[in-house]
Every structure is written in structure tokens, then in C-alpha cells.
């Protein structure tokens, strides 16, 4: 943290300089413009009168030219001065952070350089699509000659189109999407469609008494959700009583809260992503955040491994030498550790459920087979090893 603060201090200095420079620049240019404008007016009036250029005026003009030149030169040299502050930031970064972090793991852990580059580019492109920066993503695809097919892009394009409309408080595209995916959304226990209808209804309520009939007729959209959202529907119906007085002065004023719009964007992103099989957060930002937590630990481990001269400890490609706690946010899958071998199960050594219901890893099962029979280490029921079933979490 201290290192970050050091760099930030240098950064603040640069920003402050930029700010002062910007203000100074604007002021001098404005003064200059004003001066030139005045001179121009004088010249124009002289031209209108048809008088030849007086000696004074030509002197003023040459003075003006010199002034312009001087000001521009001064601004350019001031700008150059900022460069030294910018380079100080770079030096502060070099001084405070380790520049060589690739060495944390041995090269054998990674795929080939081309493959790495391709994976990284793909992750960046996906991140850009997810963040709605479509044109930047396209540009990167072109420059890196990455071939992203339309099927990959399509869901992101659609999500962004709908989200943009929602940010503009246009419910149309989102409602259309929710209605066409109604069945799947219900299976996900999603209340997206109801929330969208509710927002439309609230917007009608905000329109005052003249929208009452329209609101009432729109209320029929709530019918499919009557069982699940009974209470919320009752609240909305209750609010109709206050339509004439104005909803904002009623006990129902919370319905007009702008937070509903933020909430709908979140609900839409979450539910649409899970329906389309996309992660809500981009894999790149999750990896980056995890890397920030894991790297310092890995660097310490590397130092310890080198000190004790036991470089062979870290040989697995898909496993770190120690467990690194990334916090609950990064718990995506359940894990199962074999109670016999005390090892975490993996694709090559999956958990197997025996017919008695006890679960052990396949390696443990293979070790326990005796004369073609298996005796459960827990209950101890005798069974055919082939009857065990693989469990997928």
C-alpha cells in the first residue's frame, strides 16, 4: 500500500502541474485571441476607409506577431517541463514495484508464447465486448488479426443494445427480450420480466391522473406473476388511490425512486448473463484481481523455494504450490477432498459414489480393490467396484 501511495504522490504532482498548465494555457491563449481580434478590427476599419497601412499600425502588427511567437514558445517550453514530472512517475513505479514478475513461475507452466498471446488477446477482446466497448474490441480484433466469429459476439452485442436502452430509461428492448425468454427466466427463478412491467407501470403512475386508465389496463401484465409477487402488486394497486393527490406526496413515493432503474440494469445483466452462459464479471477482470492477491504470495514462495534449493516442488502445470485464499467472491465451484487419500479430487481423479452412498476418490477406490471386490472403508459394505458412479459437482 505504501508503494501505491508513493506513486500516487508523484501522480498528484503531475496532475496538479497539468491543471495549472491548462489554466495558464487557456488564459494566455484567450488574451492573445483578444489582442489579435482587436488588431483585426483596427485593420478592417482602416481598410474600409481606404487609407494605406500606417507606420504605427504596421509596427503594432509586427509586435503582435512577435507576441504570438513568444507566447507559443513559452507554452511549449512549459509543456516540456511537465515531461520531467511524468518521467518521475515512471521512476517511482520502477522503484516501488517489482518489474520482473514473469519469473514467479517456471516457463514450463505456460503454453507456447504464441498461444499465450492469443489467449490474452481473446481475454481482452471478451472484456471489451463485455464492457460495451464494441468499437475498441473490433479494432483490436483487426490489429491482432484475431478471428472472432459472430456467434461469440452476438450475445454481447444484444446485451449492450438492451442495456444502453435501459440506461436511457427505454424499457422496450428489455421487455421484448424478457418475454421471448420467459420460460428460461422462470426456470432461473428470475423476476426480471415482472420488474420490467412494474417499472413501466410506475412510469405510467408518474404521468398523473390522466394515465390512470392506461395504468389500469397495463396491470393485466401482472397476472402471470400474481402468485410470486402478490405483495408488490398489492402495493402498486394501492398507490392508484393517491394518483389524484400526486404520488410523490403519498406513502407510495418510494415507487418513484430512481434506484429502481439502477436495480433493473443489475438484474438484467445478472439474469441475462446467467441465461446466456456468460459470467457477470469479465474473466479478465476476475483474473487480474486474483493475480493482485496471489502474486505477492507467489513471489514470497518463489524466494523460499530458491533459498531452500527445492525447485522441483512446483512441477504441476495446473496447480499452485500452496493454497491462496482469494475470498468468498472467487468461490465458483464446490470442491471435494477424498477422505481416504486426503487429496482434492480432480478430472483425472474424480470423486466416486459407492452403492452404499459413501464417496471416495477413484485413486482410493483403485487402491482398496481386493480380489475384484471392494469393501467400503466406512460402512463396510462389500460391492463390485464397477458399480461406483462418478459425481460431478
Give the footprint of Zn ion on this chain (CB under 5 A): 356, 358, 376, 378-379
The Cα 183–Cα 93 span in angstroms is 53
Please identify, using beta-carbon distances, which residue of 264 and 376 lies nearer to Zn ion.
Answer: 376
What minimum distance in Å lies between the beta carbon of 346 and Zn ion? Answer: 22
Name 109's Cβ contacts closer than 8 Å, sequence gap at least 6. Answer: 317
What minimum distance in Å lies between the beta carbon of 368 and Zn ion? Answer: 11
Alpha carbons within 13 angstroms on the beta-carbon side of residue 161 total: 12
What minimum distance in Å lies between the beta carbon of 359 and Zn ion? Answer: 9
Please identify, using beta-carbon distances, which residue of 221 and 358 lies nearer to Zn ion.
Answer: 358
What minimum distance in Å lies between the beta carbon of 373 and Zn ion? Answer: 14
Please identify, using beta-carbon distances, which residue of 72 and 379 lies nearer to Zn ion.
Answer: 379
Please identify, using beta-carbon distances, which residue of 75 and 359 lies nearer to Zn ion.
Answer: 359
What minimum distance in Å lies between the beta carbon of 377 and Zn ion? Answer: 8
What minimum distance in Å lies between the beta carbon of 6 and Zn ion? Answer: 59
Please identify, using beta-carbon distances, which residue of 284 and 376 lies nearer to Zn ion.
Answer: 376
The DSSP result for 239-304, as a single string, is HGGGTTT-GGGSTTGGGG-THHHHHHHHHHHHHHHHHHT--SS-HHHHHHHHHHHHHHHHHHHHHH
The Cα 15–Cα 18 span in angstroms is 5
Pairing between strand 389-390 and 351-353?
A: antiparallel
The Cα 150–Cα 154 span in angstroms is 6
What minimum distance in Å lies between the beta carbon of 378 and Zn ion? Answer: 4
Handedness of CA 229, 231, 237, 242 (dihedral sign): negative
Please identify, using beta-carbon distances, which residue of 37 and 380 lies nearer to Zn ion.
Answer: 380
- Yes or no: say if 126 and 282 are a contact pair by the CB < 8 Å rule: yes
Please identify, using beta-carbon distances, which residue of 280 and 355 lies nearer to Zn ion.
Answer: 355
Amino acid at each position: 500500500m505504501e508503494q501505491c501511495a508513493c506513486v500516487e504522490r508523484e501522480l498528484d504532482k503531475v496532475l496538479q502541474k497539468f491543471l495549472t498548465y491548462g489554466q495558464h494555457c487557456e488564459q494566455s491563449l484567450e488574451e492573445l485571441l483578444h489582442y489579435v481580434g482587436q488588431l483585426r478590427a483596427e485593420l478592417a476599419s482602416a481598410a474600409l476607409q481606404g487609407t494605406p497601412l500606417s507606420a504605427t499600425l504596421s509596427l503594432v502588427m509586427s509586435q503582435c506577431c512577435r507576441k504570438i511567437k513568444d507566447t507559443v514558445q513559452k507554452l511549449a517550453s512549459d509543456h516540456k517541463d511537465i515531461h520531467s514530472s511524468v518521467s518521475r512517475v515512471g521512476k517511482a513505479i520502477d522503484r516501488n514495484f517489482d518489474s520482473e514478475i514473469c519469473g514467479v513461475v517456471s516457463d514450463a507452466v505456460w503454453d507456447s508464447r504464441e498461444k499465450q498471446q492469443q489467449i490474452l488477446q481473446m481475454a481482452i477482446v471478451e472484456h471489451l465486448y463485455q464492457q460495451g466497448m464494441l468499437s475498441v474490441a473490433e479494432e483490436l480484433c483487426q490489429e491482432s488479426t484475431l478471428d472472432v466469429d459472430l456467434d461469440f459476439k452476438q450475445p454481447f452485442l444484444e446485451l449492450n443494445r438492451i442495456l444502453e436502452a435501459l440506461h436511457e430509461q427505454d424499457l422496450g428492448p428489455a421487455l421484448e427480450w424478457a418475454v421471448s425468454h420467459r420460460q428460461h427466466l422462470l426456470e432461473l427463478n428470475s423476476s426480471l420480466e415482472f420488474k420490467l412491467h412494474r417499472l413501466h407501470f410506475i412510469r405510467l403512475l408518474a404521468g398523473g391522473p390522466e394515465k390512470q386508465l392506461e395504468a389500469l389496463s397495463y396491470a393485466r401484465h401482472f397476472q402471470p406473476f400474481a402468485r410470486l409477487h402478490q405483495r408488490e402488486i398489492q402495493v402498486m394497486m394501492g398507490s392508484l388511490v393517491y394518483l389524484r393527490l400526486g404520488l410523490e406526496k403519498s406513502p407510495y413515493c418510494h415507487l418513484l425512486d430512481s434506484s429502481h432503474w439502477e436495480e433493473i440494469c443489475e438484474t438484467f445483466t445478472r439474469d441475462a448473463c446467467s441465461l446466456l452462459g456468460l459470467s457477470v464479471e469479465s474473466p479478465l477482470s476476475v483474473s487480474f484481481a486474483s493475480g493482485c492477491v496471489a502474486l505477492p504470495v507467489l513471489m514470497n514462495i518463489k524466494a523460499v523455494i530458491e533459498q531452500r534449493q527445492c525447485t522441483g516442488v512446483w512441477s504441476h502445470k495446473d496447480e499452485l504450490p500452496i493454497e491462496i485464499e482469494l475470498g468468498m467472491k472467487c468461490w465458483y465451484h464446490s470442491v471435494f477432498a477424498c477422505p481416504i487419500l486426503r487429496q482434492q479430487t480432480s478430472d483425472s481423479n474424480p470423486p466416486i459414489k459407492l452403492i452404499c452412498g459413501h464417496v471416495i476418490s477413484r485413486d482410493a477406490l483403485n487402491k482398496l480393490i481386493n480380489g475384484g471386490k471392494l469393501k467400503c472403508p466406512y460402512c463396510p459394505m462389500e460391492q463390485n467396484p464397477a458399480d461406483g458412479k462418478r459425481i460431478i459437482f
